Structure 1
Amino acid sequence: MTLVLDATESQMVMLADLVGALCVAEETLAGMQAARDGMLAMASRLAIDIAQQTAHPDHGDMALRTVAAEIGAAQRVSDRTIERRMSEASWLVEEFPSVWAAQGAGSISAAHARVIVEAGAHLDDPADRAAYAASALEVAYVESPNRLRRLARRIAEAYQARSLTDRHRDARDKRRVWLRDLDDGMSELGVYGPSALLHGMYDRLSQMAHALIDQSSRGVDAEGAAAGHDAGHDAGHDAASDPAPAVDQLRADLLADLVLTGVPAGHDSAGDLLGPIQARVEVTVPVLTLMGAADPLGGPAPPPAELDGSTPIDIDTARRLAGAVSGWERVLTHPISGALLAVDRYRPGDQLKRHLRARDQRCRFPGCGIAARKCDIDHNHAASDGGPTCAENLAHFCRRHHTMKHHSPWRVRQTAGGVLEWRSPTGQIYVDRPPPQNTVRFTPVGGNAPGLPPGARLT
């Protein structure tokens, strides 16, 4: 007999109460999310109204950025995320009002609403959208979002005025690749593209993986053949001592191998334009971490290496990358505060650019995480107005926030230590500080800070 069947009557009553309370909580949460969507849609409409008053040629794009930046800075969220939420909320509220109302009443969850909107996104006629939404809602009232997805697509197809071929042609324009950082030095690479191509890619990787496994089972060291694909594999490691990699692992290794070393024959030019291009990453690692040193007094271990100033990676990978590069950039930091002091390089180069890249590490607009190497270096006080070209008047901004700085009411001022003060259109001040350096800092013991005497501890 199961534990639930052995429960007492009072315990079952408590369980029933919990189930009821959770249902009420979910209904309340759905209603609050619908209310938030309504306010985001109002913010989007406000931005468009502001742009229409001045007949701005960008059709409201800069106004939307400005409003999204105001909301994002106040909520400590990327303005790109806020702008995406505004767009999604506007689409739900204005194009699927019955779905929004059902969510507001707590009859369906935000997940149900999202499934219905996504499946009916290509319905252009308002009457078709309304009829589709009514049919989809009947299913949503009794089914989970996962079950609803298949049925909603089927219902939407009945109202499609355009053929699947025409819609696929438009959808192909949205193909993309994206990267999302995860924990433990890992990241996720995603691809959105035509189903036939992606299924074919997956099938080829699977066939390659199974071929290596089959070869290994016949006594040939397939793992040795695949070991070079694994970014975490040690060249001096005895591959034969490890178990054979699983199909999922081999698929990942093979994909990395093909992307990093293959030549895009279908897109390359006659002059071999793309073949010579190699992957590029930026890694910062404290020298004590690189050396494998530890605090002799038992303090904490040095911090791990970082990729592009944001993603920790394992020291073995960092050491292999450090050993393969032709030159290093040396970032000198204060031994106690960890503040950036200077940037040096064994080879001559543009000192100021290297200093700024090491200091900023990413776009300096609040909430933005675009890596500095992908950003523009901009004068905080415009050079045309007499602003000097120096570290105290320069900072990295991604193209989105660079243009917003020049073409919206947002204003920025740099203070001591590379700290930026952004003034929003509503007059709020948002402070963005340079991210801490990935370095070792020492805590003085016994009050002798200046000379860092023996006994100073790592922090």
Structure 2
Amino acid sequence: MTNLYFAPGDDDEHRLPLDPPGTRGESQSNSFFADHIEHQMFYGPMKKLADELFSAGPLTDPGEGLVRLQKIQKMYSMLDAASSVIMADSVELVAQVVAEDAVAKPYLESEQERRERLSANYYAVDRASDQIITSNFIAEAAIALRVTSEKARARMFTAKGLRHVCPRTLLALAAGQITPSAARSIVKNSQDLSTEQIELMEHQLLPVAATASDDTISQRARRFHDRSSPEAASARHEKAADARKVTSWDMDDGMGAIKLVAPIVNVRSILNTLDYEASQHKDPEDARTKAQLMADIFCDALINGWPTTNGTPLKPRVVVTIPALQMVANPKYAMADLEGYGPIPMGTAMQVAKDAPSIIPMLTDPFSGAVMDVGRKRYKPTRVLKEFLRARDQHCCYPGCRRTADNSEVDHVEAWETGGHTNRENTELLCKQHQMFKHALGWRVTNRPDGSKCWRTPHGLNSLVIPGSVENVERFEHVHNRCPERRVASPADLRRVLGIPDLGDGDLSIRVERPAIIDGNTEAAGSGLDHPGQGAAPDERPAGMQGS
């Protein structure tokens, strides 16, 4: 059984026998009549099924319920086929428009287009390349589908495969004869095969896929691919070894997971080593299971160093926000916030704080939790601004992006060269990839009065992003130009209990850090500014942060 957490994400459309963009006839209009016939083929049966389900009335018989489930499953297949056609045809249309613009108006660009062209040169991207066009459209499709870019990219891979490589599979899917999962398995295993081999695979698998389970089709497609692929097993292994990597994801209850993709010999060696070390642990007072021991040994080896060594010189930078007033008011239910993850138990946060070399006070909105200001005694103004953005945004501000503050940079919402200021109202955290989208690929972002940001894609979709520090969005006004109301600040006596001076409206949180130690030097977090040619940021304090 496939573990979804460990499902490989190595699909590559360049391994499919695709024609060059602009020459894929399936996505190009032949005639109004032909286009109308194709439209009816994809949407006519779907409309008929929907009408049948609508006219059937309330359910009264379990047998009829199963029949309706079959019809709904067919509709899922039909919808998947239709969305695949739309995605493949849309990105092909973008490629055609870009190619025509490059010929028709090379000297008629606006000032904004000129800046985007210069930015594209800075980022070393060719906006007319198939890779950039596809990546940019996938980002827009992710917003339209409300999924991550990774999921949208996987859907685009399947869409191009169905539309241009596996036409019989697309027709079977549109007719509701096979499931979307079976269709994806056939496209996935078409990589590295010739057109003739793909036709043979469809001929063998599609009759089986009409009734067999998805797992059966996946296994049969993989076996066909392994038998038919012209590459030797050793060559495939060598290519796969180039994709070795370590990734991670968040889990519930304050836990996380690490995924290592490496040659099987290395993976087995690591597991055998952990197994041996755990089996040598003979302490009768230790109640940990073997699995728990192996996990603890693995963490100790990477963080503190293998036993009898001095440990790794790289210490992790961990940032935790502890809501001081919540902790005093109701310590049993108070939760701290781990940067890049979210809520963690207060006990864990206090353990981090116990050994923290620095504590930074932060003023937060008591209702929404949004960071309003940070202390500035330890840093120059530009450093204060970076710390403020780390606390307010927490991660890249592009829709759906979760790259951490450490992997993002300070970016101007309104460009520096057009008059944008370096202050908290005009800055945000953006990762390198989405800086390129904003500066070179036609994406726009504007600040909203409530602190959110509105992103507009090159083809007109809008997406709203709320700062990562905001927990309560009940009163956020995305439509009206006014800020959310704030509740009355906490009583002054709580501030006196905590020994905190009156900082005005707002709650107070305490942020603790473990800075990274590199070669014996403490490196504070934060990075440079965003855009080429804008120069160094002036020594300018963000609004509301002047004074001692």
Q: TM-score range by the shorter chain?
A: 0.7 to 0.9
Work out which of the residue numbers 264, 271, 276 in structure 1 matches 2:313.
276
Q: In the alignment, what sits opposite 1:255?
A: 298
- Partner AA of 1:168 in structure 2: H
CA distance in 2, matches of 1:392, 1:132: 57
Distance 1:137 1:451, change over 3 A: closer
Is 2:336 the counterpart of 1:305? yes
Q: In the alignment, what sits opposite 1:16?
A: 63
Work out which of the residue numbers 396, 401, 404 in structure 2 matches 1:371.
404
Distance 1:426 1:200, change over 3 A: same
- Partner AA of 2:400 in structure 1: G
CA distance in 2, matches of 1:285, 1:309: 15
Q: Deviations over 1:162-187 (max 9, x none)?
A: 10111111122222222221221122
Work out which of the residue numbers 419, 424, 442 in structure 1 matches 2:452.
419
Q: In the alignment, what sits opposite 1:227?
A: none
CA distance in 2, matches of 1:336, 1:154: 57
Work out which of the residue numbers 84, 100, 117 in structure 1 matches 2:187.
117
Q: Percent identity?
A: 29
List alignment gaps of at least 5 residues for structure 1: 1-12, 224-243, 264-271, 440-446
Asked if structure 1 preserves the Cα contact closer than 8 Å seen for 2:368 and 2:471, the reply is no
CA distance in 1, matches of 2:398, 2:94: 20
Most deviating of 338-347 and 367-376: 338-347
Q: Secondary structure at the match of 1:351?
A: helix
Q: In the alignment, what sits opposite 1:452?
A: 491
CA distance in 2, matches of 1:294, 1:86: 50
Q: In the alignment, what sits opposite 1:140?
A: 209
- Partner AA of 1:146 in structure 2: D
**Number of equivalenced pairs:** 396
Q: Deviations over 1:189-224 (max 9, x none)?
A: 222232332233333333433443xx35xxx44x3x
Q: Secondary structure at the match of 1:285?
A: strand
Q: In the alignment, what sits opposite 2:227?
A: 158
Asked if structure 1 preserves the Cα contact closer than 8 Å seen for 2:368 and 2:470, the reply is no
- Partner AA of 1:351 in structure 2: V
Distance 1:19 1:76, change over 3 A: closer
Shift of 1:75: 4.0
- Partner AA of 2:458 in structure 1: P
CA distance in 1, matches of 2:394, 2:388: 10
Distance 1:376 1:449, change over 3 A: closer
Shift of 1:453: 7.2
CA distance in 1, matches of 2:353, 2:487: 34
Asked if structure 2 preserves the Cα contact closer than 8 Å seen for 1:65 and 1:404, the reply is no
Shift of 1:366: 2.1
Work out which of the residue numbers 169, 172, 184 in structure 1 matches 2:241.
172
- Partner AA of 2:142 in structure 1: G
Q: Secondary structure at the match of 2:358?
A: coil
Q: In the alignment, what sits opposite 2:438?
A: 405
Distance 1:359 1:417, change over 3 A: farther
Asked if structure 2 preserves the Cα contact closer than 8 Å seen for 1:40 and 1:89, the reply is yes
Distance 1:88 1:281, change over 3 A: farther
Work out which of the residue numbers 328, 335, 343 in structure 2 matches 1:293.
328
Q: In the alignment, what sits opposite 2:528?
A: none
Distance 1:387 1:294, change over 3 A: closer
Asked if structure 2 preserves the Cα contact closer than 8 Å seen for 1:392 and 1:416, the reply is no
What pairs with 1:26-425 in structure 2 (closer than 5 Å)?
26-53=73-100, 57=126, 59-123=129-193, 125-212=194-281, 215-216=282-283, 220-221=284-285, 223=286, 244-262=287-305, 275-288=312-325, 292-295=327-330, 301-302=333-334, 304-336=335-367, 338-344=369-375, 347-348=378-379, 350-425=383-458
List alignment gaps of at least 5 residues for structure 2: 1-59, 103-124, 473-485, 495-506, 508-548
Asked if structure 1 preserves the Cα contact closer than 8 Å seen for 2:366 and 2:487, the reply is no
Supply the RMSD in Å over aligned alpha carbons.
Answer: 3.3
Shift of 1:357: 1.5
CA distance in 2, matches of 1:352, 1:433: 18
CA distance in 2, matches of 1:39, 1:202: 45
Asked if structure 2 preserves the Cα contact closer than 8 Å seen for 1:331 and 1:344, the reply is yes
Shift of 1:127: 0.9
Distance 1:424 1:153, change over 3 A: closer
Asked if structure 2 preserves the Cα contact closer than 8 Å seen for 1:380 and 1:412, the reply is yes
Q: Secondary structure at the match of 2:375?
A: strand
Asked if structure 2 preserves the Cα contact closer than 8 Å seen for 1:327 and 1:347, the reply is no
CA distance in 2, matches of 1:437, 1:309: 14
Shift of 1:26: 1.6
CA distance in 2, matches of 1:395, 1:156: 47
Asked if structure 1 preserves the Cα contact closer than 8 Å seen for 2:411 and 2:428, the reply is yes
Asked if structure 2 preserves the Cα contact closer than 8 Å seen for 1:282 and 1:308, the reply is yes
Distance 1:448 1:72, change over 3 A: closer
Asked if structure 2 preserves the Cα contact closer than 8 Å seen for 1:76 and 1:366, the reply is no
Q: Deviations over 1:314-349 (max 9, x none)?
A: 222212111122112322113345442211267435
Distance 1:160 1:77, change over 3 A: closer
Most deviating of 67-76 and 173-182: 67-76
- Partner AA of 2:294 in structure 1: R
Q: Deviations over 1:96-124 (max 9, x none)?
A: 2222332222222122223333334232x
Asked if structure 2 preserves the Cα contact closer than 8 Å seen for 1:377 and 1:397, the reply is yes
Shift of 1:93: 2.9
CA distance in 2, matches of 1:282, 1:448: 27
The 4+ residue runs of structure 1 with deviation greater than 4 A are none
Q: Secondary structure at the match of 1:122?
A: coil
- Partner AA of 2:86 in structure 1: M
- Partner AA of 2:221 in structure 1: A
Most deviating of 186-195 and 137-146: 137-146
CA distance in 2, matches of 1:104, 1:72: 22
- Partner AA of 2:491 in structure 1: L
Q: Deviations over 1:351-377 (max 9, x none)?
A: 111112111112112222222221121
- Partner AA of 2:300 in structure 1: D
CA distance in 2, matches of 1:411, 1:92: 32
Asked if structure 2 preserves the Cα contact closer than 8 Å seen for 1:63 and 1:408, the reply is no
Distance 1:204 1:354, change over 3 A: same
